[in-house]
Chain A
Amino acid sequence: MISFDFMYFQPSSITETIDMYNGVHEQGEKAMYISGGTEFITFARTNKVYADVIIDSKGIPECNVLEMRNDDVVIGAAVSLNKITNSNLFPFLGATVKQIADHTSRNKITIGGNINSELIYKESVLPLLLVDARVKVVKGTDVRVVSLKSLFDRKMKLSPGELLLQIIIDSSYIELPYISLKRTKFSKVGYPVVSVAAILKENQLRVAFSGVCDYPFRSDEIEAILNDSTIPIVDRIDKVLGNLPSSIVDDLQGSREYRSFVLKNVLLDVMEEMEMGE
């Protein structure tokens, strides 16, 4: 049971949504956006989050778009992970989000919720960072389209009241070779011990990680090491372990040693699958 009470609204336009957020904020109360609402419900039940007003973005048409528009794939923030996979609009993203949670949960979990999650995993961010995705966000009357990279540093850096509307991907990335590998503790369903997504663009491997450090990341240094064909693959992978952006997570899902062992093996699989030999 959620112990606190809140007001709930499902506005049907961006303007209504933003006006409501600002109105609540001006009264000194806490408003919170939700998309799928699953993280809000589980966090609220355990008193990890509080809000006076919940603003559900599912009713905003722009947040439900899932289509090819000119040369872009456009995905609304309130689109469920299963819809993304089933649409097959962008198979790399579809394959990665298919590894998140379980099939039933993916009917409710949205891409906007996953990207903005307070948890450390946010696995849908991995392919998006690799394909230079852009995001459409709105705050007040200001709608802007910016690179995801410019807003994502360990987590989404939206300012208070800013709403993620859409994710936009250049369709030229659709045909590129990709791989998405996730390893969990003991079943297919679970948070990642290690999750790695990779894509090959102009013979250069791009790689992003979740579950390794306590935030998802893509790193220029690591990509330079993995693309250095003068060094044997096993040495490149050893070098990657020494160049992670922060320490490896050490928790009940997996000790630091276990995670680094799994990471090495996953990277070997990635290099082999993507034919990144010496």
Chain B
Amino acid sequence: MTDKKSRLKNGMAIFKRTLHGSIVPVVLLIAWEALTRSGFINPQILPAPSQVLLKWIAYLKPLEPYDPANMSYLAWLFSGELPHDALASIIRVVGGFAIGAGLALPLGLLMGGSARFYQLMNPLVQLLRPIPPIAYIPLAILWFGLGNPPAFFLISLGAFFPVLMNTISGVRTVDEIYIRAARNLGARGATLFLRIILPAATPHILTGLRVGIGVAFIVVIVAEMIAVNNGLGFRILEAREFMWSDKIIAGMITIGLLGLAIDTGMDRINRYLLRWHRGMDQ
């Protein structure tokens, strides 16, 4: 009874919040629609939202009618241009991120854990860190040519430094009291590192991973504009050549949705892994 009631109340609260949060976007969309329809704004420059939506659906839809002889229904459903582009971009982000974070994490743990190794590596890291991944584009093309390799290179580079820096600081700022308590309980060496220092550093490390995947997502769009001929970044640049502003915006919206999905996923993972963390409940 009370459970039902409270759930209803909760539902109402969420509904109210959603309603409240959608006021500004809805007003903006209406104004935008009105301005373009009334001819105030050239639709070539800025198409109406309704037009963008139609384009987005067209971009999403399969190009050919369904033919069971050709492919399965699911494959057909995702045979449109947008699913292909999105998938290509996702594979690049995930792959590049995996490479970058996969290298940064052990290096960061080593640098954080060993003062001597830190002194050895830190000057180089500090020198390379401020160089934005975008600045590596010419070199990336020179080294790897065009196609996926330079894209993966740039994306992993983008993910590398946030993960590295946060991992180092996470390990270095582990509260001394945990290390003392663990040593008192007899922990040394690898046990101390894996069971105390590593978990104590996870909040920092996860922050690094989250920032890293965000940067990877930025870099993938840039890399696709330059080195490859599919993916969301490529598609919106291609659309510009034909002055398809509706398609540009449709692509941008897709990028936004994808970024949101990635961030939400990371947030879920964070919440699960940090369920012990004090700042994590509400």
Chain A partners chain B? no
A residues sitting closer than 8 Å to B (CB atoms) are none
